[in-house]
Structure 1
Amino acid sequence: MSQKKYATLTSHAQASKLFGILLVNLVLTIVTLGIYHPWAKAKLLQYFYSETEFQGNRFVFHGTGNEMFKAYIKIYVFFSLMIFSLITLGLLKNEALIIVGLIIFYLTIFCLIPYAIHSFLRYRLSRSSWRGIHMGYRGELSALYKIFIKGILLCILTFGVYAPWMVVSLRSYIIKNIRFGSLMFEFNAKGGDLFLLHFIGYLLSVITFGIYIPWYIASILNFEIENTNVIQNEQRFPVKSTIEGGDMFGLKIVNFFILVFTLGLGMPWVVIRNLNYHLTNIHFSTKIDMDALVQSEENYKDATGEDLSDTLDLSIF
């Protein structure tokens, strides 16, 4: 991959420093009975952003523990009330009410997923900047709900077969609504191609007793990356990937032994190894004029989606 035609992100994060941050975060989170969690997350994000460089400049995460804590309280109160209601229904010993209560509870969780994704993107991107230029998300919650509900219904009707098409629809909508200053993005992919990748990947993983999994993961990552374009002044610049299954296999094997021989204490080194590999294998065209970026996004300080995505265990960004 020519360095003249493409540029990559570079991470300067060090495993030893990450270990220190994680250790302090763990101790303070335990001592405060979990209250410190929002500040721990903010500190971790600030470290990773500040150590990530692109074309000589580093990223900045402007989010704070205070912002996340306010959202954390909202979510804690909401779920506490939900659980309290279920316990109350249980004490009434009315099976019909208990069943209705459980249905309402799980439907509520289900309906929160699009909201969590939408809010997460609005907060995380608006609090991310490079050279003082902020990112942003312009998607509409109602549109995301329509795509999500339609996708779930079709997945049910097709016994899950529609899932790749749903993923592509969601990803396409989200990416086309992301902004980086005056830069726009698009995701042009077909659900059928993703279905085929999953079908072949799953089949070969079973046949090879799991050995093919790194190649499976690499194929999905390449699909996501290489179907993404950066748009500037109506000109499209494809994002390139040099991620390979063989490299992923070697990476995972070494990571496994690091974790085994360090009894898990080597996790920061594993995280840094994974981060470095992925960043150095994603390539952006140098024809994109980064000096021409113009600030176009507003600040958004409601971190509800940030904490809610953690609560619902959503792997979004």
Structure 2
Amino acid sequence: MENHNTDASSQDEAILTTTHFQFTGKAGEFFRIWIVNFALTIVTLGIYSAWAKVRQQQYFYGNTLFGGKPFQYLATPMQILIGRLITAGLLIAFFLLNYLQSPAAGFLILAFVLAMPALFVSSLRFNYRNTAHRNVKFAFTGSIAQGYWYFLILPVLCSLPLFLFMPYAIRQQRAFIVNHIKWGDKEFTCEPPIKNYYILFLSMYVAMGVMVGGMFAVTKSLGAGGQPDMTNPAFVLVFLMMYLAMFYIGIAVKAYLFKWSLQYSKLAGHQVITQLKPSRYVFVAVTNFLAIGLTLGLMLPWAKIRMARFLLETSALEAPANFISEVEATHQKENSAIGQEVADGLDVEIGFGL
């Protein structure tokens, strides 16, 4: 009888089920949170922004379901506020030194650049450590030394021979991030094929080269005596079209990078599934951008909800039915929010964005 139960349990573990993400957030609900956050942040001269961020993250995490259970955002406003005050102090020091034309302003910029890999890794640690599901925390285990290799030394080395090896650097960066994410005692792995990145970036280089060459030819023909006329409305239109085309290409590249980070990822050997279509991603991103611009920012909450639903509801995990319940928590070391906030201030994308 005991052997029969063991065999039945093994059979249950062998049956794979697909667990989809769900997003239950609503634009109307989030708009009320967003408008209050915006107003209080203005009134308090930015102090409330730490509380605003926590409220926003808690809303998005709480409405993201996996296996019917919501995610949790665990950071506190005071953690974030301290980091933001330090960041604000550094920015004020920079502007003051720059106003006084002090050479120290240049050294401060250099220090920021050299510190970015460390800040980026710190931000990943903070972001994942404050993410949990079923009270089991995520973690990022990459080291500061690895951050300097993947985000400073490797890109410099790969850019030297006419950027020919930059696709390899981008691939290694994405794999580094995913390969150091843990959920409890379970680890993620990601090994995307390098050829994908070369095809993508070579296509981007060719497209941009054609656009730049075409723009140069058109603007030269619009000028007098073969020289471009910067005041010609046609020149402005051509320049705007080129900017929009590059914007489109940038979004498309981002879509493919995000898709591959999921498509080639596994959690404890179990496949992450994505049905994301880059063309659809571009459409959602571009229409969101237009909606935000045409409404002077009022459609921002709607755009955020729309993008979150699109990204999450195209993702799933294929694993045994009892896999989620078997994930066990592990002890994690506390870390500062400073890296997260400095990275946010410099628009570094982290976390679920991969």
TM-score interval for Structure 1 and Structure 2 normalised by the shorter chain: 0.7 to 0.9
- Tell me the TM-score normalised to structure 1 length: 0.84
Deviations 1:177-219 (A, max 9, x none): 2110011011212444212112225545867984974765543
Q: 2:217 is matched with which residue?
A: none
Q: 1:146 is matched with which residue?
A: 149
Q: 1:84 is matched with which residue?
A: 96
Which of 52, 72, 85 is the equivalent residue of 1:73? 85
Q: 1:124 is matched with which residue?
A: 127
Q: 1:229 is matched with which residue?
A: 266
The 3 A distance-change label for structure 1 pair 199 and 151 is: same
Are 1:170 and 2:173 an aligned pair? yes
Structure 1 CA distance, aligned partners of 2:127 and 2:289?
A: 31
Equivalence map 1:158-197=2 (5 Å) = 158-197=161-200
**Cα offset, 1:168, TM superposition:** 2.0
**Which 10-residue stretch deviates more, 165-174 or 208-217?**
208-217
The 3 A distance-change label for structure 1 pair 270 and 80 is: closer
**Cα offset, 1:263, TM superposition:** 4.9
Structure 2 CA distance, aligned partners of 1:147 and 1:162?
A: 13
Q: 1:48 is matched with which residue?
A: 60
SS of the aligned residue for 1:243 comes to: coil
**Which 10-residue stretch deviates more, 264-273 or 30-39?**
264-273
Q: 1:238 is matched with which residue?
A: 271
Q: 1:268 is matched with which residue?
A: 301
**Is contact 2:97-2:105 (8 Å) kept?**
no
**Is contact 1:67-1:301 (8 Å) kept?**
no
**Is contact 2:270-2:319 (8 Å) kept?**
no
Equivalence map 1:107-118=2 (5 Å) = 107-118=110-121
Structure with larger Rg: 2
**Which 10-residue stretch deviates more, 12-21 or 295-304?**
295-304
SS of the aligned residue for 2:310 comes to: helix
Deviations 1:82-132 (A, max 9, x none): 4434444x26xxxxxx3xx45423321211211221111111111111111
- Tell me the TM-score normalised to structure 2 length: 0.76
**Is contact 1:194-1:223 (8 Å) kept?**
no
Structure 1 CA distance, aligned partners of 2:125 and 2:285?
A: 33
Aligned length: 301
The 3 A distance-change label for structure 1 pair 229 and 114 is: same
**Is contact 1:166-1:191 (8 Å) kept?**
no
**Cα offset, 1:297, TM superposition:** 3.5
Structure 1 CA distance, aligned partners of 2:57 and 2:34?
A: 12
Structure 1 CA distance, aligned partners of 2:157 and 2:105?
A: 24
**Cα offset, 1:160, TM superposition:** 3.1
**Is contact 2:179-2:187 (8 Å) kept?**
yes
Structure 2 CA distance, aligned partners of 1:155 and 1:106?
A: 23
**Cα offset, 1:250, TM superposition:** 4.7
**Cα offset, 1:260, TM superposition:** 6.3
Structure 2 CA distance, aligned partners of 1:124 and 1:192?
A: 30
The 3 A distance-change label for structure 1 pair 256 and 157 is: closer
**Which 10-residue stretch deviates more, 254-263 or 27-36?**
254-263
Equivalence map 1:197-236=2 (5 Å) = 197-201=200-204, 203=206, 210=245, 213=249, 216-231=253-268, 236=269
The 3 A distance-change label for structure 1 pair 55 and 70 is: same
**Cα offset, 1:170, TM superposition:** 2.2
| Identical counterparts, % of pairs | 23
**Cα offset, 1:273, TM superposition:** 1.5
SS of the aligned residue for 1:158 comes to: coil
Structure 1: gaps spanning 5 or more residues: 92-97
**Cα offset, 1:159, TM superposition:** 3.5
